[in-house]
Amino acid sequence: MPSQLKHLSTKFLKWRYKNISNKTFTHIMSVLVGLLAGLASVTLKNIVYFIETSLEKGVLISNNGIYFILPIIGLTLVFLYVKFIHKEKLNHAVSSILFSLSKKKGVIEPKHIYTQLIAAPLTIGFGGSTGLLGPAVASGAAISSNLGRLFHINSKTRSLLIACASAGAIASIFQSPIAAIVFALEVFSLDFTMLSALPLLLASISGVLTSYFFLGNEVLFKFTITQNFEVKDTVFYIVLGVGTAFASIYFTKMYFGILKLFEPLKSPKYKLLVGGLAIGIMLYFIPPLYGEGFGFINNLLEGNHIKALGKTPFDKFISNIWVVIALLFGITIFKAVAMTTTLAAGGAGGIFIPTMVMGSALGNVMAKVINNSGLGFAVSESNFTLIGMAGLIAGVLHAPLTAIFLIAEITGGYELFVPLMITASISFLITRNAIDYTIYTRELAKSGALLTHNKDQSVLTLMRLDDVLETNFKVVQPSMTLGEMLHRSVAKSTRNIFPVVNKDQALVGIVLLDDIREFMFDTSLYENTKVETFMHNAPEHIFYGKDSMKTVMQKFQNSGAWNLPVIKDGKYIGFVSKSKLLTAYRRELINFTR
């Protein structure tokens, strides 16, 4: 049977190469991955809905006391799945995709197709305070990557199709095709050209159609704008932009701070227990932190803050608007804490939707403060709720255009376009100046694995040291005589540089042909002169696995050398030549830009 499948696959590939151009096939594949990514998104939503509905029917989450138990149950199920089936640590969904694009040529293992479909619903359905967007994008990207490998698509096109899958997933979840395209461009650092625009558009449309087919006209946010933008509110939107910027900085720093706090807990079991109890306590006092939080956002948009807050220990004080404001501000503070604790405890999920929940709470809080300040101001609480979401998305993800178009499409029009631009741009500018990288990209940037819109930087990121490493150099030892070096190494080498290593294969110096040229024919020196007499230090060293290609290029520039030795785990393994490095750079640049 496998041989028959291989035969059929070969026949199809031959037919495809003969009858369908690469461009046309890319367009066909973009539609297919958009549909499949949309299907993965719909599946995720339905599984989470099934789990939450099942728990509600069991009258489990009507009692706040059960909040102590549910997150631990969900995290335990995820732990068991990861330990016995997945068998490797769950990585952040979008970050792992970005890493695969920069360092694995867009190759993603098949198991990531279904892992997020299992782990994320178990996490969120049982109260984990994360989002489904990241898992949906990850599942769609894995589908796209493996389809690309199946049909022998090159790495550049495969990377484009992964971005198409992310667009399809987002378009399916939010039914917002334009925002989906913009997200792919901003987060995956694609250049907006005709080569990328049409596949992204096709994938986005197919993702939306998948959502309509399975969910009908059901939308996440049932909202219609009743109050348009008024110029007199401009100052408040500027203040909201500043507020969401500081909230974005807090969100990002809290994320990395809590992850660091969990590092001393080496055992996943301890992380699960501590994280599960912490989430349970937060859910007891602040029920809207349960799960994704779309219901919370919808209730705020409808002006029903009592329903949004749910049953809390502070119900007898809920008639006081300032208590409501305090509780909503608590959600602004603790959503980031609950989300990161869920991930640190071993749960799965994304950060996109938690930023929306946090932003909606902050925007609503600001509107309520303005309206109840007694200064005679009146603003639309629903509008501020929406624009608060845009501010957090722009700040936390460094994606202002995604924020603007997403909220504009959610509202079904562009009446709020001006305040969206004001708040999102201010939030982005302040946050971008305070924090260089997002939650998605910080670790990648540290390891030199981050693709950006800077072509030079991206080309260097895509290059691999293994592709330019040369190992055909004759190694000598410091104790060798000149005669031994000439007969054993120089006479048999085509290179003019000789690495000097000790018995542990550690590099102690180099000898150039020019260093021994004037002594080569003086036979009286052959027996008495050692290699250590001629050797000297290399102008610079390249450290395998530590130095990025950008660092390698910088070392060549600073040292002026034409060849630099490469050290791995303290041992010499070869050289990199400037000429081969520049040739590889030029070749990668051509592939990247065509």
**Mean pLDDT throughout 93-104?**
78
- Please tell me the least confidently modeled range out of 212-216, 387-391, 585-589: 585-589
* Domain architecture of the chain: domains with CATH: 2-215 (1.10.3080.10), 231-449 (1.10.3080.10), 457-593 (3.10.580.10)
Give the pLDDT confidence score for residue 207 in this predicted structure: 92
| 407 contacts 390 by C-beta, under 8 angstroms | yes
Question: What's the token pair of residue 478?
Answer: 């410091």
Question: What's the token pair of residue 117?
Answer: 């479909």
Q: What is the spatial distance between Cα 308 and Cα 298, in angstroms, rounded to a whole number? A: 8
The angle at the Cα of 215, spanning 291 to 109, to the nearest 5 degrees, equals: 65
**Mean pLDDT throughout 333-355?**
92
Residue 132 is classified by DSSP as S
**Mean pLDDT throughout 553-577?**
90
Residue partners of 562: CB distance under 8 A and separation at least 6: 577, 578, 579
| 196 contacts 208 by C-beta, under 8 angstroms | no
Give the pLDDT confidence score for residue 293 in this predicted structure: 85
Q: What is the spatial distance between Cα 143 and Cα 109, in angstroms, rounded to a whole number? A: 9
Closest CA to 505 of 544, 538, 478: 478
Q: In the chain, what is the greatest distance between 2 CA atoms, to the nearest angstrom?
A: 103
Instruction: State how far Cα 553 lies from the chain centre.
Output: 26
Higher pLDDT, 187 or 574: 574
Q: What is the spatial distance between Cα 328 and Cα 360, in angstroms, rounded to a whole number? A: 9
The angle at the Cα of 370, spanning 418 to 417, to the nearest 5 degrees, equals: 10
Ramachandran quadrant class, 412 (left: phi over 0; alpha: psi -120 to 50; beta: rest)? left
Question: What's the token pair of residue 239?
Answer: 């203040």
Give the pLDDT confidence score for residue 100 in this predicted structure: 80
In this predicted structure, the answer to whether residue 350 has a pLDDT above a threshold of 60 is yes
Q: What is the spatial distance between Cα 111 and Cα 380, in angstroms, rounded to a whole number? A: 46
Give the pLDDT confidence score for residue 363 in this predicted structure: 95
Tell me the pLDDT band of 519, cut-offs 50, 70 and 90: confident
Task: Report pLDDT digits (tens) over 543-562.
Answer: 998 888 888 888 888 888 88
Question: What's the token pair of residue 133?
Answer: 């967007």
- CA 244 vs CA 123, 249, 324, 431: distances in Å: 27, 9, 20, 9
In this predicted structure, the answer to whether residue 49 has a pLDDT above a threshold of 90 is no
Give the pLDDT confidence score for residue 8 in this predicted structure: 76
- CA 139 vs CA 294, 310, 490, 530: distances in Å: 21, 32, 55, 61
Tell me the pLDDT band of 192, cut-offs 50, 70 and 90: low
Give the pLDDT confidence score for residue 309 in this predicted structure: 85
Residues in the chain: 594
Tell me the pLDDT band of 591, cut-offs 50, 70 and 90: low
Sign for the CA dihedral angle at 406, 407, 408, 411 comes to: positive
Question: What's the token pair of residue 182?
Answer: 């913009």
Give the pLDDT confidence score for residue 1 in this predicted structure: 45
Give the pLDDT confidence score for residue 95 in this predicted structure: 79
| 499 contacts 576 by C-beta, under 8 angstroms | no
**Mean pLDDT throughout 373-379?**
86
In this predicted structure, the answer to whether residue 311 has a pLDDT above a threshold of 90 is no
Closest CA to 372 of 430, 315, 441, 324: 324
In this predicted structure, the answer to whether residue 57 has a pLDDT above a threshold of 70 is no
The pairing of strands 507-512 and 571-577 is: unpaired
SS3 call for 110: coil
Q: What is the spatial distance between Cα 359 and Cα 361, in angstroms, rounded to a whole number? A: 5
- Please tell me the least confidently modeled range out of 93-107, 256-270, 407-421, 478-492: 93-107
Give the pLDDT confidence score for residue 222 in this predicted structure: 67
**Mean pLDDT throughout 566-587?**
87
Tell me the pLDDT band of 59, cut-offs 50, 70 and 90: very low
In this predicted structure, the answer to whether residue 60 has a pLDDT above a threshold of 50 is no
**Mean pLDDT throughout 446-458?**
62
